[in-house]
Amino acid sequence: MILRYWCFLFIFISAFAKAELTIEITQGIASAIPIAVVPMKWQGKPLPENVDEIIRSDLERSGHFGILSPDDMLSHPSTQEDVYFRDWRLLKQDYLVISSIKSVGNDQYKLRYQLFDVLNERELLAQTLSAKGSQLRDMAHRMSDAIYEQLTGIRGAFSTKIAYVTTNRKRTRFNLAIADSDGAREKVIMTSKYSIFSPSWSPDGKRIAYVLLEDTGSKVYVQNIATGKKQLVSANKGINSAPAFSPDGNKLALVLSKDGNPEIYVVDLNTRHWVRVTNHYAIDTEPNWMPDGEHLLFTSGRSGNPQIYRVSLSSGYIERITFEGNYNARARLAQDGRFLVMVHQSAKGEPFHIASMDLTRGLLQILTSDTFLDESPSVSPNGVMVMYAAKYNKRSILAAVSVDGDVRFLVPSKSGDVREPAWGPYID
């Protein structure tokens, strides 16, 4: 593990809005790794964020870790000299995290933490970070990312953002919001009396494309998150919808029905050059880029029911990808395109759930079961978790499930309904 020194330049400044989302973990993996994250040593007036608590909840939410409560610890060491590995072995802990923070003046903090392998009494990771008071939460997520990566081999995505739409029960007010991946620090970036849906992040995390359903129909906008400036991309006659940024961020795939039928188009955002991709009398929608930037996945009703197809942008060749089930839609890729994640209905009248399909082997697995009317799956940038929208206790909530189906948690809102999650990219 390379020793990294993170310098934060965060665009999400107004961090003080009260978080609207909460997390309820409903299922973790049986072989969770036991880890103790000791309360961080700090002398002085209370810090704006409880860093070690954020790390514990990040790791717990991943489902891969069993978290030792600070109350059950025999000691709260902050330096290696104070660590008695025997104590932690006694508590059946495999790994230990200790940390300390000090003020270096002018709202600047210096934070040091170490990760130990308890059985081998070995340091696995040590980092020193610095941040302003308002960035302590970012720092906690970065620490979670590093610990997670060290112990699982998979890059952590705790410091990424999610976008989603909240609405009141009467559906007269819609907010497009951005929050930390744990739902904290919600910030509304767009509010409207019209329905907002299909938010899509640019690969650099600086812009979001979305659909606004006005009285005259749907329109596609791209909004700069930092400045709030929004740009109308498409307001043709008929449907303008389902925007998706290309991997290089220069193009947008979207759906237009200006010629009478929903078809997939690609527009170059710099030159405004439009290319029509599909041409079929059935519904074609929900384009999503393959990592190569040369192919799109999309949903089409051309076989009678919605199924997932792949189109080559250079040749126009279209190939059907899904065959199992009555309804497969809104495909997203996970783990460099190895898995397809989608909305799936096994047969007519059966419930809608989130399913993954192993594209190398063609195996389809239904991932969700305890939520209802599951839709809008969005995959974390490390390809591990899928956030989706569902009905639960008659409310629209967000929920998450791992691509392997082993880990599940719910992200209910304290008020109103939440829909249309979009997991943001890594931001470095």
Q: How far is the CB of 247 from another protein (least distance, A)?
A: 20
**Residue closer to another protein (CB basis): 36 or 297:** 297
Q: How far is the CB of 227 from another protein (least distance, A)?
A: 27
**Residue closer to another protein (CB basis): 169 or 173:** 169
The rounded distance, in Å, linking the Cα atoms of 63 and 84 is 27
The rounded distance, in Å, linking the Cα atoms of 398 and 361 is 29
| Residues 251 and 244: beta-carbon distance below 8 Å | no
Record the tokens describing residue 136, joined without a space.
């302590």
**Residue closer to another protein (CB basis): 155 or 280:** 280
Q: Where are the alpha helices (DSSP H) in 6-161?
A: 51-61, 85-90, 136-152
**Residue closer to another protein (CB basis): 299 or 402:** 299
SS3 69: coil
Q: How far is the CB of 48 from another protein (least distance, A)?
A: 37
Q: How far is the CB of 299 from another protein (least distance, A)?
A: 6
Residue with tokens 């998450």: 400
The rounded distance, in Å, linking the Cα atoms of 121 and 131 is 30
Please state, in angstroms and as integers, the Cα–Cα distance from residue 286 to each residue in 149, 240, 252, 413, 417, following that order: 32, 11, 12, 26, 23
Residue with tokens 């620090």: 185
Q: Which residues bind another protein (CB under 8 A)?
A: 169, 171, 195, 197-198, 211, 213, 215-218, 238-239, 241-242, 255, 257, 260, 262, 283, 285-286, 299, 301, 305-306, 327, 329-330, 343, 345, 352, 372-373, 375-376, 391, 394, 419-420
**Residue closer to another protein (CB basis): 45 or 394:** 394
Q: How far is the CB of 272 from another protein (least distance, A)?
A: 23
50 Cα distance to chain centroid: 23
The count of other CB atoms within 10 Å of the CB of residue 340 is 24
What is the secondary structure of 369-382 as a DSSP string? -SSEEEEEEEE-TT
**Residue closer to another protein (CB basis): 138 or 263:** 263
**Residue closer to another protein (CB basis): 105 or 260:** 260
Q: How far is the CB of 396 from another protein (least distance, A)?
A: 9
Handedness of CA 413, 415, 416, 422 (dihedral sign): negative
Record the tokens describing residue 195, joined without a space.
């329905």
Q: How far is the CB of 226 from another protein (least distance, A)?
A: 27
